[in-house]
């Protein structure tokens, strides 16, 4: 019983991490039609900023709060300078964002060297429920993920900003005719997606420690999750991330980890092949 509870918690917390990472990726992919290969590097940057704050002697919380804002601002600038030119051609966008990611990743690698740097958990220790102990920080990640998801959903579905964003992304020319500044909305969407990646990086760095290929590790899982969930809505990628994250964490409990690792990808690709629209089809929030 206790074992099953621990397993469930592990699966949940890994699922939450994947959801957190995919949120930003999914918003950019669904709303702008761009598969952002630099998203993993935005995650890396968020982690790096948290580490910097820690290394300078600031409280880790400060770094975690700063990370989404800094990365979001960077995303806004990059969108205005570079990404904007790629909207017409999705494949070129992939290559361009890949180049951007390469630059960011290698710069960070140069700054931290080839090391694995650890950042302590801001909330250490464990929560004890009877005889089982679960990591307090992982539990916090689950809670924050739920809050962020709810916040994004409310932002997109209930505010006028969300309405304008969805209008821009669904029909740009009509949105322009209605007086919405579409370039600004694209910039804001991209910045928002980047900021979520920065937040994800800041939150996961105590769990995974900081190294240059941190973002790359999650990028492909993130893409697969977005495709499984379905491009075009907010809910789709989140659902896909939940499925992929849960499967990746749950399968190794029942079979050899190597087989499980590969099986997740194979299953996902086969699923997408026969259901290209994904789990949740259609527009909407």
Partner 1 sequence: MLKSMGAAKQAVHANVGSETDVPVAKSTSSGRKILPIVEGVVLVAALLAPLVLQDYLTVFATRVIILALFALSFDLVWGYAGIMSFGQALFFGSAGYGVALLARDLDITNILLVLPAGTIIGLTSALLLGGFLLLGRHPSSVIFVSLGTLTGSYAADRLARGWYYLGGQNGIPSIAPMSLGGYEFTEGPAFYYLVLGILVVVYLLCRFLVRSQFGLALAGLRENEQRIAFFGYKAQHLKAIIFTIGGAIAGLAGSLYAFHEGFVWPNMVGVVVSTQVVLYVLFGGSGTLIGAVIGTVIVEGVSFWLSDNYRDVWPIILGLLLLLVILFRPLGLISFVLGERERVGSFGAKPKEKRNAAP
Contact set with partner 1 (CB under 8 A): 35, 82, 85, 90-92, 94-96, 98-103, 106-107, 109-110, 216, 220, 223-224, 227, 257-258, 261-262, 265-266, 268-269, 272-273, 276
Identify which of 283, 189, 234 has the alpha carbon closest to the alpha carbon of residue 26.
Answer: 234
Q: Which is nearer to partner 1, 9 or 186 (CB)?
A: 186
CB of 127 to partner 1, least distance (A): 32
CB of 125 to partner 1, least distance (A): 33
CB of 267 to partner 1, least distance (A): 11
Q: Coil, strand or helix: which one is 234? A: coil
CA atoms in the 13 A half-sphere facing the CB of 102: 6
Q: Which is nearer to partner 1, 4 or 103 (CB)?
A: 103
7-15: list long-range contacts, CB under 8 Å, 24+ apart.
7/250, 7/253, 9/134, 9/138, 9/139, 10/249, 11/246, 11/249, 11/250, 12/142, 13/135, 13/138, 13/139, 13/141, 13/142, 14/245, 14/246, 14/248, 14/249, 15/241, 15/242, 15/245, 15/246, 15/249
CB of 34 to partner 1, least distance (A): 10
**Residue showing tokens 């087989």:** 259
Q: Which is nearer to partner 1, 188 or 224 (CB)?
A: 224
- Cβ count near 45 (within 10 Å): 26
CB of 149 to partner 1, least distance (A): 24
CA pair distance 275, 22, nearest whole angstrom:
20
Q: Which is nearer to partner 1, 110 or 179 (CB)?
A: 110
CB of 141 to partner 1, least distance (A): 24
CA distances to 6, 45, 112, 119, 205 from 115, in Å: 31, 15, 7, 13, 14
Identify which of 35, 17, 39, 63 has the alpha carbon closest to the alpha carbon of residue 193.
Answer: 39
Q: Which is nearer to partner 1, 195 or 227 (CB)?
A: 227
Q: Which is nearer to partner 1, 123 or 272 (CB)?
A: 272
Q: Which is nearer to partner 1, 239 or 244 (CB)?
A: 244
């Amino acid at each position: 019983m206790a074992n099953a509870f621990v397993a469930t918690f592990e699966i949940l917390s890994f699922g939450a991490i994947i959801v957190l990472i995919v949120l930003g990726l999914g918003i950019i992919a669904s709303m702008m039609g761009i598969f952002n290969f630099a998203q993993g590097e935005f995650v890396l940057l968020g982690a790096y900023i948290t580490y910097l704050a820690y290394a300078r002697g600031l409280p880790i919380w400060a770094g975690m709060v700063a990370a989404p804002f800094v990365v979001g601002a960077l995303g806004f600038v990059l969108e205005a300078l570079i990404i904007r030119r790629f909207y017409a051609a999705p494949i070129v966008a992939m290559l361009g964002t890949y180049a951007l990611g390469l630059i960011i990743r290698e710069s960070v690698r140069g700054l931290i060297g080839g090391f694995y740097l650890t950042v302590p958990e801001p909330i250490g220790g464990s929560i004890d429920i009877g005889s089982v102990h679960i990591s307090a920080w992982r539990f916090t990640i689950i809670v924050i993920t739920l809050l962020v998801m709810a916040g994004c959903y409310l932002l997109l579905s209930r505010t006028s900003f969300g309405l304008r964003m969805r209008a821009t992304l669904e029909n740009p020319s009509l949105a322009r005719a209605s007086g919405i500044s579409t370039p600004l909305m694209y910039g804001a969407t991209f910045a928002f997606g980047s900021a979520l990646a920065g937040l994800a990086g800041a939150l996961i760095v105590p769990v995974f420690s900081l190294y240059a290929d941190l973002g790359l590790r999650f990028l492909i899982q993130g893409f697969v999750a977005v495709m499984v969930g379905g491009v075009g809505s907010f809910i789709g990628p989140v659902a896909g991330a939940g499925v992929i994250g849960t499967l990746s964490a749950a399968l190794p409990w029942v079979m050899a980890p190597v087989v499980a690792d590969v099986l997740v990808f194979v299953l996902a690709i086969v699923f997408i092949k026969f259901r290209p629209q994904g789990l949740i089809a259609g527009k909407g929030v």
